[in-house]
Structure 1
Amino acid sequence: MDVLELARTQFAVTGSLHFLFVVLTLGLAPIVALMHTRHVISGSALHGGMTRFWGQIYVVNYALGIVTGLVMEFQFGLSWSGLSDYAGGVFGAPLAMETLVAFFLESTFLGLWIFGWGRLPKWLHLACIWLVTLTAYASAFFIMVANSFLQNPAGSVLRDGRLELVDFGALLTNKTLVFSFPHVIGAGLLTGGLVLAGASAYQLRRRTRESVFFDRSLRMGVGVASVGAFLALGFGYAQFGGVQEGKFDGSTGAAVPLGFMIEIGQLLAFVLLFILLPLIYWLPRWRWTHVVLMLMTPVPFALAILGWMAREIGRQPWMVWQKLTVADALTPGLTSGMVTASLIGFAGVLGLLAVVDYVLIARIVRRGPRDLDLGAVPAGARPAPAMTF
């Protein structure tokens, strides 16, 4: 492989691995926030336990996903400095907003939520997890703004050989953004819901003692996944209206993952909306459905990667559509050895983080909602007095 193909492969591998974390984060955040809301309103110990159990899985996935996101930022300087030089004045603006939102606001509110159990007033503590959810979605929005600019460079003009931002509103209302962002939200809800349902099905099939706990979780997971499937499918088709003319012409590399994503996605949506959702109250009792839900759990992760492949490969050979080619965006002076070394290093680290993530999540699921670390009071210690205004 030449330098260009190696650099493209590196970004594809690291981007795909990173998105595995992101799509689960986007799905679990609102689920945990809804559980916490029901706990605060009702005072139910069951919903409190559900919040802590699924919240602990969310925290593990978020913490490891942050590290994979840092690698994505590095590559713009290492491999694609031509993009930064040509379009950094436009492309860098939403990335800067994403960094501020994700690393400052989202991380701050998540820290307050993690360490605020028993210390913050309950309504303020609840507000923290909702702010985590909102900032997570804002982070995803700005990433989609940046990516949509590459698909359709709206709001910019070419001056002195560089793109300059002249209309920030056009950037935020890009035709390739308005339907693709809700599509990503749907994909996240589909993923989070099926992880919830699949993990609960695993515990119920083992005839767990916490049957009520996982009954509720399974039903909620199927409900959320059904909403996600409806959004992902509807907005997935709608976003074809914003696709640039000629984007998929002769692009077999994009057509194959796109075809698989559409066919598998339609089948998954059909099973959820027309088979499992109508039977939602009987699912915890029917053991055959537990196997089905466990087998369905990894499917949305695969669909998410197929969707990104179709979106990115279809744009080739352009980095910025009809403005800057991928070859021109490549950093000058790179050698095959340099990119190969970084590819092995990045893929190895991110792959290891992905394995660690799923091993830790599987361990939490297998252990069940006993002896949770999130929100626990150390043995022999008194709960800290709640902060007041």
Structure 2
Amino acid sequence: MMAYAAIANRANFIDGILPDGQTVARLGLICTVYFRNGGQPATGQKVLACFDQFNAEFGQHLTGQLHSYSSRFSSLRKDSIAIARKKLEANTAEGMTIEWTLQSHKNGEIAPEYCISTLTANAESDPYGVLSYLKIKLPWQMLQEEAGEQQFLDWVRYLCEELDIEHGYAGLACELPFDRHQYQPYEFQIAQRFSGLMVDSAPHLDKSELKDGIKGVNWLTLLGPSFIEQADGETELCRQLALPDVRVEKTANGRLIIQAGLLPDVGGPERGHPPAYVAVNRVLKPIRVVNPDQLHTCMDDAEGFTKRNTLEWYARFDDLEAEPAVLAELTDAEQRCESERPCPRSGYWATPAKEDSRRAFERGEIMPDFPGSTYGATIWYWDENQD
């Protein structure tokens, strides 16, 4: 639970909320995969099957959509997903591009908690190896319980197998609205502070850069056969990745899921770069994209990702010694406390169940409960910053 507490302690620093209460930047749990042959009818059907599955599991949270036949977001009404799907299915039969976003907000101005989006190549571009992408966004709070963590891991495996991916990644990111441009400077500033977050606000642009190299490492780094071979093959790759806190899983269709750490790590300045990410990066650096274009458009060095600082971000884990994870001085019981129980340690605590909840408690003081919170159960976490 200490790994989860570390995420919870940083969430309020990462979320961006306007004075009117709108969330325009949100810590999110993401998985983005890149795959080929997006213009083939069989691949298009698999993409639509991913949307079917996402709607089946998270449909109660979805309220808006944008697709190839709409110029702006629209509210979901009865049968509107089915109608859109039918139109897009006709696209797949003709080898046309599929563009579709389903999300938990009715417009593109708020960062959604739940979202699935895709942009596929067309049949004419398939022979040139043009990539397609599919991305899901889910609440990071899923990681609090083993069942939620497993649900996310199952989704990662499902996407690897359903789409025969080339490569991808999964973990934490500072997620922006669909209309992202004015908030990219915020994403840039957060990325400078938290190295464990993936910069992923524009996978539809990144896919053109990632044809011959991966984007880098995250909590989960996903490799298809061509990149496994480039990394000296499965046997040698697994030998090099036989490291503390690193786990490698092979999917039914020969993809590798490389897990760095028990849970994602935001990599805050107080803790330094995530050690497991640094270790995996050392092994996978040779297959990383060599000369990527800038992550943001129309930015200067002070406000966003230009060509120069994009290269710096890609190389943030390079030339570092992977230090073994420092054992926390506090036990799990001293890091976490449920509401209406005595505080186990004097100091500053905070709970995700209430905004601006950070405050000092004395040992033995009963921890408050916020029963009306939309977050769920009130659980207090020790704040690593005790200043």
TM-score normalised to the size of structure 1? 0.25
- TM-score normalised according to structure 2 size: 0.25
Higher relative contact order (CA 8 A, sep 6+): 1
